[in-house]
């Protein structure tokens, strides 16, 4: 049973979304696939309170969306709406936010964030980063950990439904790998790829990704 304070916080999310979206929608205009520009703009305005202006989040609690792959964003927003992505942060922050999003609105939101300039990483040559680069590009064959580069790309830019990882918050990426390991975030491929990573190795590879 949730205590009263978290319940108030969670319930208020869709209310805030609806208020802002409807207020901005009154401005009119035409957008992608017949969705009013104001509908997408109003939704993005709500998203920015956590994900930052143009999706350039400064808090590791919330992922950076700027420059993320459109197909990946569409898939995740649909999964939040349908409650098929059920990791704890998804339930707390995104189930309520996505509950009333239509497919065309999701397409518009995803297209907007995909078109934004990604946040550049902060290069460094620390031993942790160097070790992480090796894991990313070569994997750990002795422990059946495949190279991340084979799916996520040479510069971790992602491709279609495979997400961009470059320049993402290290703590956010580490939390996702831990969720894949435990299947709190259900994904068979990522579970198999991450299940044998140690906490140190997770820290190393995510430190590297934050530099790209």
Alpha helices, DSSP H, located in 52-94 = 70-82, 88-89
Distances (CA, A) of 146 to 89, 180, 200: 27, 15, 17
Say yes or no to pLDDT of 8 above 50.
Answer: no
Which sign does the torsion angle of CA 181, 182, 183, 184 carry?
A: negative
Residue ranges covered by each domain of the chain: 4-114, 127-209
Higher pLDDT, 75 or 27: 75
145: three-class secondary structure by DSSP: strand
Q: Which helix (H) or strand (E) is 52 found in, with range?
A: none
pLDDT score, position 36: 53
Say yes or no to pLDDT of 14 above 70.
Answer: no
Say yes or no to pLDDT of 185 above 90.
Answer: yes
| pLDDT more than 90, % of the chain | 79
Report residue 41 as tokens. 């703009």
The burial of 179, by beta-carbon neighbours within 10 Å (0-12 exposed, 13-18 middle, 19 or more buried), is given as buried
Over range 100-105, report the average pLDDT: 94
Least confident of 10-14, 109-113, 118-122, 185-189: 10-14
Cα–Cα distance for residue pair 81/99, rounded to 1 Å: 5
Answer yes or no: are the C-beta atoms of 128 and 46 closer than 8 Å.
no
Residue with tokens 């569409």: 74
Beta-bridge partner residues of 159 = 162
Say yes or no to pLDDT of 19 above 90.
Answer: no
For the beta carbon of residue 55, count every other beta carbon within 10 angstroms.
Answer: 26
Cα–Cα distance for residue pair 166/65, rounded to 1 Å: 11
pLDDT score, position 29: 40
4-114 and 127-209 have identical folds: yes
What's the mean pLDDT when you consider all of the chain?
Answer: 86
Residues 6 or more apart in contact with residue 112 via CB below 8 angstroms: 40, 44
127-209 CATH choice from 1.10.760.10, 1.20.1250.20, 3.40.50.11610, 3.40.250.10: 1.10.760.10
Say yes or no to pLDDT of 194 above 50.
Answer: yes
Statement: 4-114 belongs to CATH 1.10.760.10: yes
pLDDT digits (tens, 9 = 90+) for 20-41: 443 333 333 444 444 457 889 8
Cα–Cα distance for residue pair 72/162, rounded to 1 Å: 6
pLDDT score, position 17: 42
pLDDT score, position 12: 43
pLDDT digits (tens, 9 = 90+) for 85-95: 999 999 999 99
């Amino acid at each position: 049973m949730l205590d009263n304070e978290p319940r108030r916080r969670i319930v208020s999310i869709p209310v805030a979304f609806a208020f802002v979206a409807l207020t901005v929608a009154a401005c009119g205009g035409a957008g992608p696939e017949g969705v009013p520009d104001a509908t997408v703009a109003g939704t993005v305005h709500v998203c920015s309170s956590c994900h930052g202006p143009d999706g350039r989040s400064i808090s590791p609690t919330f992922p950076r969306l700027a420059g993320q792959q459109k197909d990946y964003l569409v898939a995740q927003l649909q999964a939040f709406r349908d409650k098929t992505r059920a990791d704890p942060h998804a339930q707390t922050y995104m189930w309520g936010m996505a509950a009333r999003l239509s497919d065309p609105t999701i397409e518009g939101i995803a297209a907007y964030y995909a078109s934004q300039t990604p946040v550049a990483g902060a290069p460094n040559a620390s031993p942790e980063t160097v070790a992480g680069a090796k894991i990313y590009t070569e994997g750990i064959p002795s422990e059946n950990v495949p190279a991340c580069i084979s799916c996520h790309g040479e510069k971790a830019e992602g491709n279609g439904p495979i997400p961009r990882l470059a320049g993402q918050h290290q703590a956010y990426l580490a939390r996702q790998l831990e969720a894949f390991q435990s299947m709190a975030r259900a994904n068979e491929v990522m579970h198999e790829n991450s299940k044998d990573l140690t906490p140190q190795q997770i820290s190393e590879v995510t430190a590297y990704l934050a530099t790209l």
